[in-house]
Amino acid sequence: MTSPSVAEQRRYRGTSAEARRAQRREQLLQAAIEVYGEKGYRHATVKAVCEAAGLTERYFYESFANSEELLIATFHTVADRLLEELARGVAEVPGGPLERTRALLTAYYGALRTQPRSARVFLVEISGVSPAVNQALVASLRTFGELLTRTMDPHGQGGASTQPLLRTGVVGGVLHIALRWISEGYTQPIHEVVEAALGLCRVLG
């Protein structure tokens, strides 16, 4: 008989079982972004996500215990991708802290406008679902706050690095500006939105 360790390494059309599972998981994550962005998490079902992914429900439970676990994974996918893009972009911007922070905010709000479904997952669907989901949100906001602080005050001279409540307040303001902008259909020019948020970020410098 073939042992499980050997069976695990069997390949189908040149692809390992592990790679196929990873691909199915990625399909579910991308489908969840689409479904949550269109219908909202609370109105989405496992069946709807699976249909959007082109997979049966048994493959859902291969990767996720329940819908909440998928929501957290989806949120991390969206948030991590956005934060990585922002960090890379800021590193390439010439000028001082103010110029780099303006560029960071422009990229942030620009991403929310060009990827509205991801924005809904990042800003709306994640809030208030459960303690575990809230914990994921808090951790992501903390990371975003640290990025803003490093960008605005790269040498740690402004004292914001020792004032986590100040960072929390600034990040909260940046997000609430985004929520209002989105709710109003992105009608206000992005440079005005950025300058409003930049006014908050100045206290970090």
The pLDDT tens digits for 115-138 are 888 888 778 777 778 898 889 888
Q: What is the mean pLDDT of the chain?
A: 86
According to CATH, the superfamily of the domain at 66-204 is: Tetracycline Repressor, domain 2 (1.10.357.10)
Q: What are the structural domain ranges in the chain?
A: 1-64, 66-204
Contact in structure between 190 and 109 (CB atoms under 8 Å): yes
Residues whose CB falls within 8 Å of the CB of residue 11, separated by 6 or more in sequence, listed in order: 17
CATH annotation of 1-64: 1.10.10.60
Residue 5 has pLDDT above 50, yes or no: no
Residue among 183, 200, 203, 188 nearest 105 (CA): 200
Q: How far is CA 163 from CA 130, 136, 169, 173, 204, in A?
A: 27, 21, 10, 16, 9
pTM of the model: 0.81
pLDDT of residue 12: 56
